[in-house]
A and B are shown apart, each in its own frame.
Chain A
Amino acid sequence: MLKAVILIGGPQKGTRFRPLSFEVPKPLFPVAGVPMLQHHIEACAKVPNMKEILLIGFYQPNEELTRFMFSAQQEFKISIRYLQEYAALGTGGGIYHFRDQILSGGPEAFFIMNADVCSEFPLLEMLNFQKEHGEPSSFVILGTTANRTQSMNYGCIVENQGTNEVLHYVEKPSTFVSDIINCGIYLFTPEIFQHIGAVFQKNQQDMLLDDLTNGNGWHRAEAIRLEQDIFTALAGQGKLYVYKTRAFWSQIKSAGSAIYASRLYLNQYHKTHPERLATNEDGGPRISGNVYIHPTANIDPTAVLGPNVSIGTGVTIGAGVRVRESIILHGATLQDHSCVLNCIVGWDSTIGKWARVEGTPSDPNPNDPYAKIDSETLFRDGKLTPSITILGCNVTIPAEVIILNSIVLPHKDLNRSFKNQIIL
């Protein structure tokens, strides 16, 4: 049997996702209409013999997470449990800490996935790939091709082109190493814990020494990074392989990348969930391209939506409203004639009549097949880099103003136009 583990991080992670991560744990942020994690879970549930999905993170148990797990278990008929780390243990420390839980029932292999990726999740392909490679207990990293400059923002993999063995692994190098990057999705056998265990033992010894020499014991032996601490050491040992996919993949670090990820998933819905895509119907709004509309949303038939729009529960959209490349979160209201482009409109926010709320997309270069989305820093040369516009929860935008390339923190009542600003 098989299992899957999703690394969901904790409240201190996901700062680039503010102000949206104030309201909801980032892994539950809706992408293409469903929580980010649900895409992972759906993919896992389709794998034959998948017995359990474990979420590992350092969030306090919370209602949203509990509710999500409950409904996902019902929907996908699979056991889903949350295992809480007592502190941030890193991408390798958490799974090591909970190794007994992962190994209980005796899975012959298990997947590990970062929560903040968007992917076609070629899990069956990874299983087949593992079988084809002589070494029965080899570990597989899902890899994809990036362009030279962007590759350095990721974990970089050098492979043996004949065998796909990982010869060298380096996390976010400062010079170009390889254009094959780590997708944050792995297939391991239980043997991985011997390797993590060895690092754990070594850390403990180092720490003892460290404590004796300079008395700073802040570093935990249990905090282990899969990428730097494990993969780097395993490379070239005949144990670690890379399965390269050409299917879509992206990180979801910034809010802007959530819009891009939504576009990728909405596009995938044509194959996986055509029922989630809105269609042009008599008495309904005009749909252009891929659009998700929650059934409880109330949309005027003269509105025009799409491409790449996701509309959440209980959203109200008035007459003559235009929405493109945006995520509208539950309870928001877009009044008549308003125009929303490249935005995330926060929960229960209101946009007045004829207001224009617009951002600048940070899409990957469309002419470069290997380009990824840049999750840039907010500021460049002291100036806010033009980004998508984000309205936090319960923001009010008055009629007829323009809000351009701005980030509005929750519960603000704006009274005029703003451009290129963070509004506290």
Chain B
Amino acid sequence: MLANMKALILVGGYGTRLRPLTLSVPKPLVEFANKPILLHQVEALVKAGVNHVILAVSYMSDLLEREMRVQEERLGIKISLSHEKEPLGTAGPLALARELLTDNEESFFVLNSDVICDFPFEDMLKFHRHHGREGTIVVTKVEEPSKYGVVVYEAENGRIHRFVEKPQVFVSNKINAGMYIFSPSMLKRIQLRPTSIEKEIFPSMAEENHLYAMELQGFWMDIGQPKDFLTGMCMYLQSVRQTAPDRLTTGPGFLGNVLVDPTAVIGKNCTIGPNVTIGAGVVLEDGVRIKRCTVLKGSRVRSHSWLESCIVGWSSSVGQWVRMENVTVLGEDVIVNDELYLNGANVLPHKSITDSVPEPRIIM
């Protein structure tokens, strides 16, 4: 157990890539596997002994603040909100929260709010203490490094040499996983102005041998866009299968890993799964076929519809004999009329869909 530790979570982005969901709810509060994204991180932090979480916020913070008061109570920790007047990027918020972060000499965690994995907080602290320098960043292996910024480091001890943005020749297959632990002395590097930690802070830390990489074991996903949100859900449910299989629903009509809120109602002759999350109060009527989808709170899918690779936003209604596929995302309170076909549709909140969308597009 780590005691009296702090963590700062960056939650100030606009979450534009997760629209239309983030038009209704700030990204940290969007439910991933039936729990707000942020709570996955906060709960893991609490489990690791963190007792003060600082949220670096910039917009739509009222909803977040209210929700966090509830969680403070429930988890028995302190949750502070550090409000920015203008977006300060991924480093600036650390300067803004300097006082909160330096009330003791202990190292602190910094997290991007939209990564999902088996959070390795205790290992991070151990690793960080072991090398004794200013910063540790968690890295994860990817198949196509040329799409990302990669981290080049010494295999034996993890000391980072450099960062290479979208490498054209192979130099490394490890990328920044969006989770860091820093010693308080690191804060002297950051000024109170919009700054990118990845581009403006890390390179000089690495040059001075102050930055180390720790490789993440197991799954990892940045769930900041719908396609990856669904891929991350599949990975997450698979890890639930290994660590807490009782949370998954099995039996006739269920295939693979399926997570169903106890208040959801599921009709007769449905086939659900693999890789489905059904939120609170959701109703699936008879004969629904659904796979690789997230259905958010309060939605209804009517009889005989077929859904694959979709996110159904809160309180939406999908008609009978509807077919939805190819990362169709419905915003909040969307109505899809009977018998329509939606292929890769991105539907903004409160829309009523009366015509099929045979090719991917945005429905304003």
Contact = CB atoms under 8 A, between A and B. Distances in A.
B304 A322 contact: yes
A26 interface: no
A358 B341 CA distance: 9
B287 A339 contact: no
A324 to B, nearest CB: 7
A419 B326 CA distance: 14
B289 A354 contact: yes
Contact of A320 (B287, B308, B323, B341): B287
Contact of B269 (A319, A322, A358, A402): A319
A120 interface: no
Contacts of B320: 322
Interface in B273-318: 286-287, 289, 303-304, 306, 308
A336 interface: yes
Contact of B304 (A320, A324, A358): A320
B333 to A, nearest CB: 25
Contacts of A353: 289
A400 interface: yes
Given A320-B269, A324-B339, A400-B289, A337 B304 contact: yes
Interface string A308-339: 00000000000111101000000000001101
B306 A337 contact: yes
A356 B306 contact: yes
A336 B287 contact: yes
B66 to A, nearest CB: 41
A337 B303 CA distance: 8
A337 B341 contact: no
Interface in B239-259: none
Q: How large is the interface on B (under 10, 10 to 19, 20 to 34, 35 or more residues)?
A: 10 to 19
Interface in B217-260: none
A404 interface: yes
Interface string B189-222: 0000000000000000000000000000000000
Nearest to A303: B304
B310 to A, nearest CB: 14
A5 interface: no
Contacts of B303: 320
Q: How large is the interface on A (under 10, 10 to 19, 20 to 34, 35 or more residues)?
A: 10 to 19
A356 B323 contact: yes
Contacts of A339: 304, 321, 323, 339
A359 to B, nearest CB: 12
Given A336-B269, A339-B321, A339-B323, A322 B287 contact: no
Contacts of A336: 269, 287
B321 A402 contact: no
Contact of B339 (A337, A341, A400, A404): A341
B358 A404 contact: yes
A419 B269 contact: no
B224 to A, nearest CB: 29
Contacts of A402: 323, 325, 341
B341 A404 contact: yes
A400 B325 CA distance: 11
Interface string B334-351: 000001010000000000
Q: Considering the complex of A and B, which 6 residue pairs feature the smallest CB-CB distances, nearest first? A: A320-B287, A339-B321, A337-B304, A320-B304, A322-B321, A354-B289
Given A322-B339, A341-B339, 10 more contacts: A320-B269, A320-B287, A320-B304, A337-B269, A337-B304, A339-B304, A353-B289, A400-B289, A402-B323, A404-B341
